[in-house]
Amino acid sequence: MKPAVASVWKQLGAAAEALRECHLRDMFAADAERFANHSAVWHDWLLDYSKQRVDANAMSLLRALWLVADMPDWIARMRAGEPINHTERRAALHIALRHPAGKGTIAHTGRDVMPAVHAELAKMRRFCTEIHGRHWRGATGEPITDVVNIGIGGSDLGPRMATQALAAHRHRDIRVHYVANLDAADLATVLSGLRPATTLFVIASKTFTTQETMQNAASARAWLVAALGEAAVARHFVAVSTNLGEVARFGIDPANAFAFWDWVGGRYSLWSVIGLPLALAIGFDNFEKLLAGAHAMDEHFFAAPPEANLPGLLALLEIWNTNFLGADNRALLPYSQSLGLLPRYLQQLEMESNGKQIDRQGQPLNHATSPIVWGEAGTNGQHAFYQLIHQGGRLIPCEFIVCREADFDLPGHHEKLLANCFAQAEALMRGKTLAETTAELSSAGLPADEVARLAPYRSFPGNQPSTTLLLPRLDPFNLGALIALYEHKVFAESVIWDINPFDQWGVEYGKQLASRLLPIIEGKADTTGLDSSTRGLIAWVSANTTAG
C-alpha cells in the first residue's frame, strides 16, 4: 500500500472507531439535512446513502482515498487501452463496445478498434432483421420462433439477466432460452418444449472449446440432426466465437460466426456479440438503447468528481463497510421481479473480479477485498431471509434498487412495492427499542406480564446500513446504465484494493483439475497421485453406478 493511501487508510480506521457506538437513528435526529447531505443525483436517478453509517468526516476521507489511489490516472489508463489486466497482458476495453460511432477513436496497441466494433454491430443488426422479418428460414422452410443460447459464465449470465429484465420490451415473435449448466437437466428441459424445425441455437464460446458449452452444443446438434439431418445444422446454428476452424468443423458456416476480441473479458462482454440473444429477444433498436445507457454511465464515471460519482460512491461505501466496519457480505435487494437475476449476475461480476488476495505487485494483501454478494428480488426476500437481517446479529449492508415507475403496470401493485421497499430500509435503519416495543404492546391493551414476555422478541437493534438506488423506470437505456454502474464500481474498488479485477485464475485452476479427472472417471486412466478423498469419491461412483 502506497504511503499516501496508508495514511488515509489509518485515518479512516480512526473515523470508523469514532462512529462505532453511533446509531443511525441518532444521526438522523442530529442532522435535519442528512438526506440532502448524503445523496446524489444523476439525470433522473437518485442514490440515497443517508442510511449508511457515515458522517461528513468519513465521506471526506473516502473521497481523499479516491484521489490518493490515483483513480483519475487509472481511469485514463483504461480508456487509453493500456494492458491494465497485467497478468494476462491485456487491455480491458469493454467501454469501446458501447462507444458511439463518430465520437472519437479508442485505440488498442496503436490501432482504432471502433471500426471493427461497429462492423460486428452492423452484422448483428442484419441478422436480427433477418430473424425478426422471418427471412431467415430453417431447413424445412419455416421461420425461427425460438432461440437457444448455449454458453456459460459471461456468455450466459449477462444476456440471460438482461433478457429477463427487459421482458416488457421483448419482440413478440421470438422466444429466447438459455442453457449453461453441464447437468443434462438444463438442456433437456429447454429442448422438451421446442420444435427442431423452428429452433435456432447460438453457441457462445470465444475459443469454441469451453467444456460445458461444447458438450451442450454437441447434444443440441444431435437432437437437431436426429430430426432434420446433418444438412440442417447450417440453418439452425450460429456461433459467437473467434475460432473459425472449430466453428466450421462443427458444421456452422463461418459467415454466421460473430467475432469479439481478447480485450473483452467474459463478464464484461454483454455489450459485444455475446449480446446477440438479447438483441434477438428485444430487437436491435432496443439493444442500441442499452449500449447508449451504458455509454452515458461511462461518461459520468469518467468525469464526475467522487462526491457526485455514482459508481465511485458505491465503491467507497463498500470499502468503508468491508474494510472499516468489518462487513463480509452485502445483500442486493432489487424490488423488481424483472431484476430477479441481477444478484446472480453481480455475484459473477463482483466476486470473480475482486475475489483476490494478491496485489498488483504479486504480494499478499493485508486487507479484505470483495464481500460475498447475495440477494433476492423483493418482496419475495422479505418472506425468506429478512428476519436474519433484522434480528440475526450480523452486520449486513443492504442495497435496495427500485424503480419509480412499473414496467408492467397492473393497478395496485407498484405503490405497494414502493411502500415495502422504503419501509424495509427504514426498519433496518431505525430498529425498535425495548421501550418503544413495551409502549406499543401496552397501548394495544396487553397485560403487563404479557408485555414483559413479548417485548424482547419484538424489539429490533436497527443500525443496519443500506443504500437505496431509485431509477425512473426499467427500460433498455436505464438497464444499460445500471450494469455499467456496477462495472465501474468494481473497477474503482480494484484500484483502491490494488488488485487486478480482469483475470480469474481460481476459475482456471478448477477447469484444469476437471480435465485431469475426466479420463479417470471415464475409466481411461488410473487414480495414481490423487488424494484419498478424491480417489474415494471416484471409486464410490464407479462401484455404485448401475450399468446402462
Point out the residues that are catalytic. Answer: 352, 383, 511
Contact 262, 220 (CB under 8 A): no
Query: What is the rounded CA–CA span in Å between residue 147 and residue 156?
Result: 13
Q: Which three cell numbers stand for residue 275?
A: 449480446
* Residue-wise DSSP of 182-209: SSHHHHHHHHTT--GGGEEEEEE-SSS-
In three-state form (DSSP H/G/I as H, E/B as E, the rest C), the secondary structure along 345-393 is: HHHHHHHHHHCCCECCCCCECCCCCCCEEEECCCCHHHHCCHHHHHHCC
Query: What is the rounded CA–CA span in Å between residue 90 and residue 81?
Result: 9
Which among 291, 324, 272, 236 has a CA at the least distance from the CA of 59? Answer: 324
Query: Which alpha helices (H) appear in 49-145, and where do they start and end?
Result: 56-68, 71-79, 114-132
Specify the amino acid at residue 189: T
| Cα angle 461, 462, 466; round to 5 | 155
Which contacts of 121-125 are long-range, i.e. CB under 8 A and separated by 24 or more positions? 123/258, 123/273, 124/258, 124/273, 124/275, 124/276, 124/279, 124/284, 124/287, 125/279, 125/284
8-state DSSP, 232? G
Which positions ≥6 away from 519 have C-beta within 8 Å?
A: 525
Query: What is the rounded CA–CA span in Å between residue 211 and residue 233?
Result: 20
Contact 335, 399 (CB under 8 A): no
> Rounded to an integer, what is the distance from CA 253 to the centroid of its chain?
32
Residue 184, judged by CB atoms within 10 A of its CB (0-12, 13-18, 19+), counts as exposed
Which among 479, 504, 505, 489 has a CA at the least distance from the CA of 75? Answer: 489
| Cα angle 120, 123, 125; round to 5 | 115
Query: What is the rounded CA–CA span in Å between residue 82 and residue 91?
Result: 5
Q: Kindly report the backbone phi and psi dihedral angles of residue 403, in degrees, each rounded to the nearest multiple of 5, phi listed first.
A: -105, 145
Q: For residue 424, give Cα distances in angstroms to 223, 419, 429.
A: 48, 9, 9
Question: 443: left (phi > 0), else alpha (psi -120 to 50), else beta?
Answer: alpha
> Rounded to an integer, what is the distance from CA 55 to the centroid of its chain?
29
Q: For residue 51, give Cα distances in angstroms to 6, 12, 19, 219, 447.
A: 27, 18, 14, 51, 36
